[in-house]
């Protein structure tokens, strides 16, 4: 057989191929120096926020040159360690509060048509977004419905204009007021958004890094915080409603007060066993009136929470303390009395401290909760996971060992099977790995433990495209065509099989990505990227190497 | 000629249909067996699908399952399962166990108090015991995860079916997807038989099998399509045999490189990921087998309508440009 020159790719195409490979390589480099680059990135963020750099931060900044790319592959929770919570917001809590606030209005409206409906009575109901009112005179129902309907207002939603916020219907002698579906949707949306906002503020103020806080489905919130010790800790931070009120104390007792009297409620003490306070239900001021709260110490050096009211709260608080010197008032958090100090003097400035049996951490946490505001509804936790950082590190180490061994074994196997062409495939495989990490870093992808498995799987699968081509070239060589022609035809004929085979795997990873959560999604991402890069390296990079080698050595025969 | 490692002789002409009754019949039998194992023994569902809590413990002392069980005896818990975990990467001071507690409540995951109580009880055995991971899933979510997984497998199969139908012909699509389901169900059967923990990552593994195994089948089909064009008068059975023989070397090569990589991950990748790697490992073996012995048998059984092809000669043939 004689040497015949091969059709080679045009120069621009060659340049483009190698430029892409180089970009992948450069982008993947920061991951080799993970600790350094991470310190650099943290410092850079802090410096940007603060506007100046401390000596320590400068040192961290100097760990990595700024002209280099500094994007890193994010490590998933299962590799870094941290806590994961899936919370369901009890949106119906809000419905109930809404219906409670509708009741006085409805009652007043019905009172205006009293001569037709007679006396009215609220009935208990199982449906949280419903208010049932029994009227004495069913004949006047139409007038009652009319009167209540007049209270409704139009709401504007994306789905429809002209819907009202309440639906009013009659059932025998019972008048039923329900939140309309559109209004319920609007309430749900608002509740979830407020909850998200408050959770985000609380988690941010607790000083954790890179938390993930996302809405999931209709009424769920996913919270992932790397580096936090346990899910229980995270739950204490975000699971507390943190509704703070200041209520006048009626009396103090050692038992629950069964007959607190109209407008009063009996509440237990937070840390004094068996102590109950009867307080007025309507608070003087509440946590909504706070502008700021921070961890502090009282005059005896015990941990406390210092707070500051806004103008309205300060006036109400000032007036109340001026009129009630010598009387106790209760500081109530989520239905429990933290403490009930006696008012010593008029407190005009609108600031004060809350003391109780706090540890420093508890005081700080309460301060965070108070300044972030109360959650609009309570939450139940459907799923919680804590992964220790050591377990994550073990997984990374194991994954690294497995990847190196797999790479070595596949390399030996490929070279033994295809000789020089095998070497080309192995070099391509190396570049392929670098490109996967480069792309993951560039798009800020997250690497999870199944993701590492995905990369190892790709090591095995990536050579497939090369194998398809090499086998095809072998066959074509048997057909006694010229070597150059055999190589060309080999690439051409193998293409349809390569594309079909890889597209089906790509479809799978798309389904995995949309359906899966967390770690599985990480697997889908690495698998998808790996498929794209392995097809790219097999079809273009390996081919470039083959063409260049063929052009340089000008062999008369080719053995694959 | 330089020495080369060969997994298959250079030119083979095996008759892959010769022992049809054994290979294809055996496959069908295995599938039935897998369903029986699945139905009778059930799957060892992890908390992802059943709800509950798992606590991973690590201690310098050897794991005594009885002592662990005794320590948790007095606590108000649901069913407790304790298994020791082995891994070649563990040091002599590293003794790991998984404590699994069934869910009690209907929706919520678990209370921090319960976990604290369990941890405290276990620390009476070894005060230095650590708990590298604590995971808890409420039954409400786990129910949804089961459905989500079934939908995921169904969707993937449907998508692959649609794609192959589009690129090849419906007989190929059906053969390919049935071969896929064969791989997936036998793998599930193996998980049932050995009672290996079945959780969300296993579903990811099964979906990966769907993607991988169709890979092999598609390569055979691709060659079959090409040969059907080339040898228009050769009986279908012979064209199939030829195609499988021609692609045999590649099929084995790719399966072996993938098996090497996944096998290495299974051995060295740590116990957390082992089940996942095992599912893919099994899937690759079954996938290779089924693309040679199952997928094309189904196409042969259904039969291809090859007579239409000459009629279409005037119009652009659907296979004409696929090689480009």
Quote ipTM for the complex: 0.83
Q: Do B201 and B308 lie in a common domain?
A: yes
Residue of B nearest to A389 (CA): B132
Instruction: Tell me what the mean pLDDT of segment A339-362 comes to.
Output: 82
Q: Do B106 and B193 lie in a common domain?
A: no
Cβ-Cβ contacts under 8 Å, A394 against chain B: 89, 270
The whole-angstrom separation of Cα A313 and Cα A331 is: 14
pLDDT tier at A537, thresholds 50, 70, 90 = very high
Mutate to test the interface with A, among B247, B261, B324 (most CBs of A within 10 A): B261
Q: Do B114 and B38 lie in a common domain?
A: no
Instruction: Provide the shortest C-alpha distance from residue A340 to chain B (in Å).
Output: 28
Instruction: Report the number of distinct structural domains present in chain B.
Output: 2
Looking at the domain assignment, is residue B8 inside a domain? no
Cβ within 8 Å, pair B323-A409: no
Residue of A nearest to B112 (CA): A232
Q: H or E segment at B196? A: none
User: pLDDT value at position A439?
Assistant: 94
Looking at the domain assignment, is residue B7 inside a domain? no
Q: Do B230 and B301 lie in a common domain?
A: yes
For A408-424, write each residue's pLDDT tens digit. Answer: 999 999 999 999 999 99
Mutate to test the interface with B, among A220, A389, A456 (most CBs of B within 10 A): A456
User: Is residue B1 exposed (0-12), middle (13-18) or buried (19+ Cβ within 10 Å)?
Assistant: exposed
pLDDT tier at A238, thresholds 50, 70, 90 = confident
Average the pLDDT over each of A203-217, A382-396, A404-418, A428-442 and give the range with the smallest value.
A203-217
Average the pLDDT over each of A72-86, A315-329, B1-15 and give the range with the smallest value.
B1-15
Instruction: Provide the shortest C-alpha distance from residue B166 to chain A (in Å).
Output: 11
Q: Which structure tokens are listed for B3?
A: 């020495």
User: pLDDT value at position A422?
Assistant: 93
Instruction: Provide the shortest C-alpha distance from residue A405 to chain B (in Å).
Output: 7
Instruction: Provide the shortest C-alpha distance from residue A399 to chain B (in Å).
Output: 5
Q: Do B128 and B203 lie in a common domain?
A: no
Nearest 5°: CA angle at B179, between B174 and B185? 125
Q: Which structure tokens are listed for A196?
A: 């998200």
The whole-angstrom separation of Cα B279 and Cα B17 is: 28
Q: What is the pLDDT along chain B (324 residues), one digit of tens a residue?
A: 577 888 888 778 888 888 888 889 899 999 999 999 999 999 888 888 888 889 999 999 888 899 999 888 888 887 888 989 888 878 888 899 999 888 776 666 677 778 888 899 999 988 989 998 998 888 888 888 888 888 888 888 888 889 889 888 889 999 998 999 899 999 999 999 999 989 888 888 888 888 788 888 888 898 998 999 889 889 989 999 999 998 888 888 888 989 999 999 899 888 888 999 999 999 999 999 998 889 888 988 888 877 655 444 444 444 444 444
Cβ-Cβ contacts under 8 Å, B223 against chain A: 497
Instruction: Tell me what the mean pLDDT of segment A499-519 comes to.
Output: 82
Residue of A nearest to B52 (CA): A383
Q: What single-letter DSSP state applies at residue A270?
A: S
What CATH code is carried by the domain that includes residue B73? 3.30.70.260
Q: Do B30 and B59 lie in a common domain?
A: no
Q: Do B183 and B294 lie in a common domain?
A: yes
Looking at the domain assignment, is residue B95 inside a domain? yes
What CATH code is carried by the domain that includes residue B32? 1.20.1640.10
Mutate to test the interface with B, among A460, A477, A494 (most CBs of B within 10 A): A460
Q: What sign for the dihedral angle of Cα A241, A247, A253, A255?
A: negative
Q: Do B86 and B174 lie in a common domain?
A: no
Instruction: Provide the shortest C-alpha distance from residue A1 to chain B (in Å).
Output: 14
Cβ-Cβ contacts under 8 Å, B211 against chain A: 504-509, 527
User: pLDDT value at position A255?
Assistant: 81
Domain assignment of residue B303, given as a range: 20-44+142-314
Q: Do B80 and B115 lie in a common domain?
A: yes
Instruction: Provide the shortest C-alpha distance from residue A475 to chain B (in Å).
Output: 9
Q: Do B61 and B98 lie in a common domain?
A: yes
Q: Do B77 and B206 lie in a common domain?
A: no
| Cβ-nearest to A386 among B134, B250, B261 | B134
Cβ within 8 Å, pair A386-B133: yes
Token pair 């039923």 in the structure block, residue: A176
Cβ-Cβ contacts under 8 Å, B156 against chain A: 507-508, 511
For A17-60, write each residue's pLDDT tens digit. Answer: 999 999 999 999 998 888 888 888 888 888 888 888 888 888 88
Instruction: Provide the shortest C-alpha distance from residue B195 to chain A (in Å).
Output: 21
Cβ-Cβ contacts under 8 Å, A410 against chain B: 257, 260-261
pTM of the predicted structure, to 2 decimals: 0.80
All structural domains of chain A with their residue ranges: 11-32+69-76+389-553, 92-185, 245-356
For A366-390, write each residue's pLDDT tens digit. Answer: 887 787 778 888 888 888 888 888 8
B100 CB-near residues (< 8 Å, 6+ apart): B47, B52, B53, B54, B80, B81, B82, B83
Q: Which structure tokens are listed for A306?
A: 């210092």
Strand partners, A163: A155
CB contacts < 8 A, A to B, total 247
Strand partners, A75: A447
User: pLDDT value at position B319?
Assistant: 46
Residue of A nearest to B278 (CA): A453
Looking at the domain assignment, is residue B122 inside a domain? yes
Looking at the domain assignment, is residue B199 inside a domain? yes
Cβ within 8 Å, pair A456-B211: no
Fold for the domain defined by A11-32+69-76+389-553: Multidrug efflux transporter AcrB transmembrane fold (1.20.1640)
**Could you say which of B89, B107, B137 is where a domain stops?**
B137
For A152-171, write each residue's pLDDT tens digit. Answer: 887 766 555 667 888 888 88
Listed residue (A389, A388, A268, A275) closest to A333, CA to CA: A268
* Exposed e or buried b per residue across A57-85, where buried means at least 16 C-beta atoms within 10 angstroms of its C-beta: beebbeebeeeebbbbbbbbbbbbbbbbb
Average pLDDT of chain A is: 85
pLDDT tier at A1, thresholds 50, 70, 90 = low
Where does A245-356 sit in CATH, by number? Answer: 3.30.1360.200
Residue A288 phi/psi, 5-degree rounding, is -65, -25
Cβ-Cβ contacts under 8 Å, B56 against chain A: 391
Q: Do B277 and B184 lie in a common domain?
A: yes
**Could you say which of B88, B104, B137 is where a domain stops?**
B137
């Amino acid at each position: 057989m004689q040497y015949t020159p091969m059709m080679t790719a045009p120069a621009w195409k060659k340049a483009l191929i190698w430029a892409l490979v180089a970009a992948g390589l450069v982008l993947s480099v920061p991951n080799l120096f993970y600790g350094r680059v991470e310190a650099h990135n943290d410092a850079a963020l802090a410096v940007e926020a603060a506007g100046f750099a401390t000596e320590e931060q400068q040192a961290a900044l100097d760990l990595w040159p700024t002209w280099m790319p500094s994007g890193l592959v994010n490590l998933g929770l299962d590799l870094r360690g941290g806590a994961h919570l899936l919370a369901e917001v009890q949106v119906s809590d809000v419905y109930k509060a809404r219906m409670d606030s509708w009741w006085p209005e409805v009652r007043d409206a019905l009172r205006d048509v009293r001569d037709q409906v007679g006396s009215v009575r609220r009935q208990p109901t199982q449906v949280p977004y419903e208010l049932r009112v029994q009227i004495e005179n069913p004949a006047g129902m139409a007038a009652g419905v009319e009167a209540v309907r007049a209270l409704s207002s139009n709401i504007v939603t994306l789905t429809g204009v002209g819907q009202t916020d309440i639906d009013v219907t009659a059932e025998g002698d019972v008048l039923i007021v329900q939140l309309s579906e559109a209004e319920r949707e609007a309430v749900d949306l608002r509740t979830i958004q407020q909850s998200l906002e408050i959770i985000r503020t609380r988690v941010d103020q607790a000083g954790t890094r890179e938390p993930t806080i996302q809405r999931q489905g209709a009424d769920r919130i996913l919270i992932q915080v790397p580096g936090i010790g346990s899910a229980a800790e995270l739950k204490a931070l975000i699971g507390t409603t943190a509704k703070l009120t200041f209520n006048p104390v009626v009396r103090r007792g050692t038992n629950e007060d069964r007959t607190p009297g109209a407008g009063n409620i009996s509440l237990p003490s937070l840390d004094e066993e068996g102590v109950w306070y009867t307080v007025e239900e309507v608070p003087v001021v509440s946590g909504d009136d706070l502008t700021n709260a921070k961890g502090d110490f009282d005059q005896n050096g015990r941990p406390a929470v210092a707070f500051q009211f806004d103008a309205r709260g300060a006036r109400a608080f000032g007036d109340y303390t001026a009129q009630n010197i010598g009387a106790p008032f209760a500081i109530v958090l989520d239905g429990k009395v933290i403490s009930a100090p006696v008012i010593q003097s008029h407190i005009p400035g609108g600031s004060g401290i809350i003391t109780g049996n706090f540890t420093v951490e508890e005081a700080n946490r309460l301060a965070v909760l108070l300044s972030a505001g109360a959650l609009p509804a309570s939450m139940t936790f459907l799923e919680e996971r804590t992964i220790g950082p050591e377990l994550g590190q073990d997984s990374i180490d194991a994954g690294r060992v497995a990847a190196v061994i797999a790479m070595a074994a596949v390399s030996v196997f490929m070279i033994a099977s295809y000789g020089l062409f095998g070497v080309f495939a192995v070099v391509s495989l190396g570049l392929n790995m670098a490109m996967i990490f480069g792309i993951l870093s560039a798009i800020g992808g997250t690497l999870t433990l199944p993701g590492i498995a995905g990369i190892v799987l790709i090591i095995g699968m990536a050579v497939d495209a090369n194998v398809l081509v090499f086998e095809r070239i072998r066959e074509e060589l048997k057909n006694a065509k010229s070597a150059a022609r055999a190589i060309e035809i080999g690439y051409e004929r193998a293409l349809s099989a390569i594309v079909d085979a890889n597209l089906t795997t790509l479809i799978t990873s798309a389904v995995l990505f949309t359906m899966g959560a967390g770690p599985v999604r990480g697997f889908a991402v690495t698998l998808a990227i790996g498929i794209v890069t392995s097809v790219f390296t097999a079809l273009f990079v390996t081919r470039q190497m083959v063409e260049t080698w063929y052009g340089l050595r000008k062999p008369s025969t080719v053995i694959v | 000629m330089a020495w080369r490692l060969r997994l298959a002789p250079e030119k083979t002409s095996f008759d892959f249909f010769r022992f049809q009754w054994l290979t294809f019949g055996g496959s069908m039998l295995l599938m039935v067996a897998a369903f029986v194992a699945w139905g009778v023994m059930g799957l060892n569902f992890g908390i992802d699908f059943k709800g509950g809590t798992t606590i991973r413990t690590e201690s310098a002392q050897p794991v005594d399952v009885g002592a662990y069980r005794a320590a948790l005896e007095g606590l108000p818990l649901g069913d407790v399962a304790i298994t020791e975990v082995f891994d070649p990467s563990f040091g002599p001071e590293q003794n790991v166990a998984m404590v699994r507690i069934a869910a009690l409540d209907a929706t919520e995951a678990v209370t921090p108090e319960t976990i604290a109580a369990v941890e405290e009880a276990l620390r009476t055995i070894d005060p230095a015991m650590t708990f590298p991971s604590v995971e808890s899933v409420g039954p409400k979510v786990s129910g949804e995860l089961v459905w989500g997984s079934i939908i995921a497998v169904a969707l993937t199969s449907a998508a692959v079916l649609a794609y192959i139908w589009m690129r090849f012909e419906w007989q190929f699509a059906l053969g390919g997807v049935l071969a896929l389901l064969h791989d997936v169900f036998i793998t599930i059967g193996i998980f049932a038989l050995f009672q290996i923990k079945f959780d969300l990552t296993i579903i990811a593994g099964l979906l990966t099998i769907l993607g991988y195994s169709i890979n092999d089948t598609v390569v055979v089909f691709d060659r079959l399509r090409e040969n059907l064009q080339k040898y228009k008068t050769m009986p279908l059975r012979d064209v199939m045999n030829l195609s499988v023989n021609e692609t045999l070397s590649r099929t084995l090569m790719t399966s072996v490189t993938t098996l090497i990589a996944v096998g290495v991950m299974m051995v060295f990748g740590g116990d957390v990921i082992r089940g996942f790697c095992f599912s893919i490992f099994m899937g690759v073996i079954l996938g290779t087998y089924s693309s040679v012995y199952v997928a094309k048998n189904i196409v042969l059984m259904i039969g291809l309508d090859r007579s239409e092809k000459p009629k279409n000669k005037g119009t652009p043939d659907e296979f004409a440009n696929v090689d480009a």
